[in-house]
Structure 1
Amino acid sequence: MISPQSFKSYDIRGLVPDELDREGARALGFALARKEGAKTAIVGRDMRSTSKELAAGLISGLSSGGAEVVDVGLVSTPELYFIAGKEKCDVAVMITASHNPSIYNGMKICRKGTMPIGGASGLYEIRDRIASQNLPAEKDNYTPRLVEHESEYAYKLTSRAKLSGKKYRVAVDVANAMGIRELMVLGKIPELSLIPLFDTYDPSFPNHPANPLDHSTLVALQDKVRETEANIGLAYDGDADRIGFVDERGEIVTADVITTIVACALLREERSALVLHDLRLSRFVSEYIEKAGGRSKECVVGHANIKSEMRESDAIFAGELSCHYYYRDMYFAESPTLTAILVLNEMARSGKALSELCKAAQKYCQSGELNFQVQDTGSLISLLLQKYSSGKISQMDGIKIVYPSWWFSVRASNTEPLVRLNLEADTKEELTLHLAELQTIINSHTHYLK
């Protein structure tokens, strides 16, 4: 069983076994191999109790479809992308449902070059192929090939550490999930004294959901940083392709600040390089990139869109509000651990605490991302375009309307039935004024969630 409803914009995700089971994974593997003409495939999985069985079905289906399969076992999603890029395989699949509860599982799929396969780039075609294909009988005793990758992956990351012998205490919340794999990499950097939180695998997520974008999940990390006087706190999500940051005071550091710090660090190595940032990030991101000699460009939200544009434009780096950070040097894929290393490098180079680096970057007042359920997104967008027609309008992804001292964006989520609002202004007074006005308009179509 693999339900058509489990095919999402960016990945596959559903309840196990009601919407996804071993036979459904086998059917998907066969359809994927045939559609892509795959001769080589890589499969990895997270720590969920259902992931091993789904991997077995997927491997069987890929093999029946003509692919030689490499099983890399228990890995983080960034690890899988690294292996897929290094091995130049035709397709790669990570079995995970990220931070979703343990009753869910899913798959993130990419083709050669770690290019994501999403709804608009072939995933829905695979869904339709499954419905019409004749799935052959399962092969007996197929044994996938194994590949050693841990040492090379660790070296790729740790070789970027330039801490000049300075010692740092680092609290790391891996939330009983795949960040444990990344914790092992950080442990190979001699200057770091790690303070791990929740570093045993448990798919029930007994301490908190593995989702650093939800600030309530960062409380334990904030407390640990303050208690141990750590220099920095890191929080990985369920499959470890996102990372949240806490400074030495236990304060949360936003993604636009981290994007700025990392971009400026990379621009010291490659001046005039292009950096992408999603359109929801603060104005100070582009200001600092350009001040550092780089070129900045806003981009559409979503990992598939960003990875594609990075390749087309040869961008060195991209940052996203959702705490995804992408690197040309990592096959245009996410690398949260490289992000942490580069932030630590900047702390060492400057001799400043993370809070000092943050203070230098933050210039404007922000609403944060606010979510609403809207019955008619189209009519809401039309109303906003009419009311704010005097601003500079972009419809790259939803709408973004910019005025000299403030801006806002409204866009439909790609993953949930929500409309998301972001607003930034020069002053708190202006932020409060325009936020109240926009909430009144949006609330006439919906109700506010969080």
Structure 2
Amino acid sequence: MSVLDQVVKAYDIRGTVPDQLNADVAHALGVGFAIHIRQASTAEQVVIARDMRPSGPQFVEAFSRGLLDQGLDVVDIGLGSTDMMYYASGILDAPGAMFTASHNPAGYNGVKLCMAGARPVGVDTGLLDVKRVAAEVLDGTTPRPAARAGTRVERNVLDDFAEHVLTFVDLDDIGPMKVVADTANGMGGLVVPAVFERLANVELEVMYPELDGTFPNHPADPLQPANQRDLRARVTSGGFDIGLAFDGDADRVFVVDEQGEGMSGSTTTALLAVAALRQNPGASILHNLICSRAVPEVVREHGGVPIRTKVGHSFIKQVMADTGAVFGGEHSAHYYFARNYNADSGLIASLVVMAEAGRSGIPLSEVRRPYERYSASGEINTEVDDALAVIERVSGEYAECEQDRLDGLTVNCGEWWFNLRPSNTEPLLRLNLEAADRDSCDDRVAALLGSITA
């Protein structure tokens, strides 16, 4: 496999530094993105941001050089969260590039690309074109430079972004509240205080706020329960009303209630959907196919129209644009807002959860209860030699159940269901299963794992 085959994923670019990603690759990707922008739009400038990883500055410089040589101007907004970059892309109506590897370990970096208005760039919407040109550059065939080189300016959008986030809630709903946020040495350490300092009734404590891309305290992957352990303990020991666990680029957030119990992405999606439907009666709400079946149930009960989607931000943003949905959620804690250019934001989701808890007048542990109706396995990864062959075999074993192939294999057996998806990058099968109760869920998981590993 070429280095680009290794790092170009379904909806972003990500790899290890420096064996897969280095300054030469970043420059080639910059040229590729510039050519794609020239062919697909009339944009003349590109927004660039980065997270706190040590390789970020050199990658931004090399990528920018590729853009500038092709005559595009660069607006460098410096250190920021991914949702801050999306905001800048929206207000400037310009394509954007965010250098981040999100929740991946310290040895990784990557880049998320978007077109003007934060429109997604994935394998079906331009990423393969970027990859093709970048491959030519790495092979020594660089497109002719533009007659006029682009210019580079720096711009600070943090304050404007913080004010934008606040517009998604009625601040009166957020009464006196103690909040602790674990930003895991990621970009939440920059953007979370910038927003919360504007909330007069909120007392904020930030855990691991120092921007440090070596992640000295714990990995910035809150999807893994072990990485929420410190936050859950602090919530209970400090008497906090809510805990917030952000990932490395702060576009995702997991919520912990006042009893130190974490909320699943599905529960938070249902809660946010109710808030969205209160403001937009009858609206469409997206949920990926891994979310609990409680999510579409709650959406219908509150007068909305649930729409099921594939996993992944580029797919969901496109479906939001196509359907006019006002909100979308994923089990992995990505939450998308139409008024945020269809982009995901951990900060906006945090404030809406806080507002819902505040307006209810009851603890978050009680607010969440109506949305938790089933028992889920969580995502279970199994290494297999041939993921597609295993999927076909399992499909045959459950032929009597309703099945679809929207994203991997989803099997609905009435009181329980499961999804099997192959990893894009590893020889893994990802299993998610939901059943009526814990015992049934555990029994079904054990049976399925036996089939997968047979």
Q: TM-score range by the shorter chain?
A: over 0.9
**How far does residue 4 in structure 1 lie from its aligned partner after superposition?**
4.2
2:64 maps to amino acid: I
Match status 1:64 vs 2:69: yes
- The match for 2:211 among 201, 204, 207 is 201
1:347 alignment partner in structure 2 = 357
Using the size of structure 2 for normalisation, the TM-score is 0.93
Match of 1:113 among 113, 117, 121: 117
Q: Distance in 2 between matches of 1:4 and 1:287?
A: 40
Call closer, same or farther: CA 1:156–1:415 in 2, change over 3 Å. farther
For residues 262-307 of structure 1, what are the alpha-carbon distances to aligned partners after superposition, in whole Å with 9 as ceiling and x for unaligned?
A: 1001101111000010111111111111111111111111111111
Tell me the alpha carbon deviations over residues 155-194 of structure 1, each in whole angstroms, 9 at most, x when there is no partner. Answer: 1112333344620100000111101132121221111100
Residue pair 1:2, 1:21 contacting (<8 A) in 2 also: no
Structure 2 match to 1:33 = 34
How far apart are the structure 2 equivalents of 1:67 and 1:142?
A: 5
Per the alignment, residue 333 of structure 1 pairs with 343
CA contact (8 A) 2:68 2:151 kept: no
CA deviation map 1:115-161 (0-9, x unaligned): 22223332232222123232568999975123342222111112333
Identity, % of aligned positions: 35
Q: Is it true that 1:388 corresponds to 2:398 in the alignment?
A: yes
CA distance in 2, matches of 1:346, 1:150: 25
Residues 33 and 62, structure 1, Cα contact 8 Å, conserved in 2: yes
Mapped partners of 1:385, 1:115: distance in 2: 35
Q: What is the Cα deviation at residue 427 of structure 1? A: 2.6
SS of the equivalent of 1:145 reads: strand
> Does the C-alpha gap of structure 1 residues 101 and 83 become closer, same or farther in structure 2, counting only changes over 3 Å?
same
Q: Structure 1's 56 and 136: CA in aligned 2 closer, same or farther, altered over 3 A?
A: farther
Of residues 167, 177, 184 in structure 2, which corresponds to 1:159? 167
Question: 1:431 matched to which residue of 2?
Answer: 441
Opposite residue 169 of structure 1, the aligned amino acid is K
Match of 1:448 in 2: none
- What does residue 317 of structure 1 align with? 327
Instruction: Give the aligned partner of residue 49 of structure 1.
Output: 54
Structure-2 separation of matches of 1:372 and 1:360: 32
Q: TM-score, normalised by structure 1?
A: 0.94
Is 1:181 the counterpart of 2:186 in the alignment? Answer: no
2:317, 2:342 within 8 Å by CA — same for their partners in 1? yes
Report what 1:84 is aligned to.
Answer: 89
CA contact (8 A) 1:248 1:354 kept: yes
Aligned to 2:178: 169
The one-letter amino acid paired with 1:289 is V
Q: CA deviation at 1:97?
A: 1.4
Look up the SS of the partner of 2:153 in the other structure: coil
Aligned in 2, Cα 1:415/1:156: closer, same or farther, shift over 3 Å?
A: farther
Measure the CA separation in 2 of the matches of 1:267 and 1:3. Answer: 42
Spell out, residue by residue over 1:386-406, the C-alpha distance to the aligned partner (whole angstroms, 9 max, x if none): 221222212111111112211
Between the aligned partners of 2:36 and 2:97, the Cα distance in structure 1 is: 14
Tell me, in whole angstroms, the C-alpha distance in 1 between the residues paired with 2:385 and 2:61: 41
Cross-structure match for 2:293? 283
**1:396-427, CA deviations, whole angstroms, 9 ceiling, x for partnerless residues?**
11111112211111111235432111111113
Contact persistence 2:72–2:150 (CA under 8 A): no
Contact 1:61/1:138 (8 A) holds in 2: no
* Cα distance in 1 for residues equivalent to 2:331 and 2:15: 25
* Structure 2 CA distance for partners of 1:213 and 1:400, relative to 1, 3 Å: same
Are 1:15 and 2:20 counterparts?
no
Alignment root-mean-square deviation, CA: 2.0
What CA distance in whole angstroms lies between the structure 1 residues aligned with 2:147 and 2:112? Answer: 24
- What 5-or-longer segments of structure 1 have no aligned partner? 445-450
Shift of 1:200: 0.9
Alpha-carbon displacement from aligned partner over 1:329-381 (angstroms, at most 9, x marks no partner): 10010111111111111111111111101222111121111111121222222
1:282 is paired with a residue of what secondary structure? coil
Q: What residue in structure 2 maps to residue 447 of structure 1?
A: none
Deviates most, 1-10 or 328-337: 1-10
SS in 1 for 2:96: strand
What is the rounded CA distance, in whole Å, between the counterparts of 2:372 and 2:105 in structure 1? 34
| SS of structure 1 residue aligned to 2:25 | helix
CA–CA separation in structure 2 for the residues paired with 1:56 and 1:432: 50
Measure the CA separation in 2 of the matches of 1:305 and 1:357.
30
**Following TM superposition, by how much is the alpha carbon of 1:438 offset from its aligned partner in structure 2, in angstroms?**
0.9
Q: CA deviation at 1:30?
A: 1.7
Number of residue pairs aligned between Structure 1 and Structure 2: 443
Alpha carbons of structure 1 residues 358 and 433: separation in structure 2 relative to 1, 3 Å: same
Of 62-71 and 406-415, the range deviating more from structure 2: 406-415
Structure 1 residues 164 and 24: CA distance shift in structure 2, 3 A = closer
Give 5+ residue unaligned stretches, structure 2.
none
Output one character per residue of 1:35-56: Cα deviation in whole Å (capped at 9) or x when no partner.
Answer: 2205211111111121111111
Which amino acid counterpart does residue 87 of structure 2 have in structure 1?
F
Structure-2 change in CA distance of 1:414 and 1:313 (3 Å): farther
Q: Amino acid of the residue matched to residue 330 of structure 1?
A: N
Q: Distance in 2 between matches of 1:404 and 1:27?
A: 50
